[in-house]
């Protein structure tokens, strides 16, 4: 029941959130571009490499089997076991910045309604830009659900 409420809150936020062009405090106006979205067969880790203002930003959502950090965000690498991977504290400013950056990318690619449709569709057999958006949406949903479980 709690998971369903979280999903509904996320969908409501997604539908009500602004689309591309809205300025987020602390972020540049140009949305990032996705260089790569990786899905690992270690249980479901999602690695993301973005480019923002000429800088590469790598992060991942831990989906490894038997991990002690399910759904948590690692910055600096596309996989938690990479040398530069840094586990971010829950609720940290950096964690919030990365989620906002990902949302800015999503908003630049598709409308809030399309995001909700992609998330509900649950189909990885999509064209690459939609598949990337779908994987990022699922990773954010998983991150949010594991954050709620810890409370």
* The model's pTM: 0.78
Q: What is the mean pLDDT of the chain?
A: 83
Q: Which is more confident, 103 or 127?
A: 103
Our count of domains for the chain comes to 1
Going by C-alpha positions, the residue among 93, 133, 109, 95 that lies closest to residue 21 is 109
Alpha-helix runs per DSSP H in the chain: 2-16, 93-109, 112-121, 128-149
Q: Which is more confident, 53 or 15?
A: 53
Given this model, what pLDDT does residue 145 score?
92
**Burial of 133 by CB count in 10 Å (0-12 exposed, 13-18 middle, 19+ buried)?**
buried
Which structural domain, as residue segments, surrounds residue 142? 2-149
* Residue pLDDT, tens place only, 6-49: 333 333 343 334 333 343 444 457 899 999 999 999 999 999 99
Given this model, what pLDDT does residue 14 score?
38
Q: Quote the CA–CA distance of 31 and 95 in Å, as a whole number.
A: 17
């Amino acid at each position: 029941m709690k998971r369903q409420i979280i999903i509904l809150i996320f969908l409501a936020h997604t539908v009500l959130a602004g689309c591309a062009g809205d300025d987020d405090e602390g972020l540049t106006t140009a949305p990032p571009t996705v260089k790569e979205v990786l899905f690992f067969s270690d249980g479901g880790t999602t690695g993301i490499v973005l480019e923002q203002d000429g800088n590469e930003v790598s992060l991942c959502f831990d989906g490894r089997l038997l991990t002690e950090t399910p759904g948590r965000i690692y910055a600096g690498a596309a996989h938690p076991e990479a040398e530069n991977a840094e586990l971010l504290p829950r609720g940290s400013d950096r964690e919030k910045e990365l989620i906002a950056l990902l949302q800015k990318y999503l908003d630049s690619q598709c409308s809030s309604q399309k995001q909700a449709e992609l998330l509900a569709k649950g189909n990885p057999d999509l064209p690459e830009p939609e598949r990337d958006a779908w994987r990022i949406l699922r990773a954010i949903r998983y991150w949010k659900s594991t954050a709620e479980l810890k409370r």
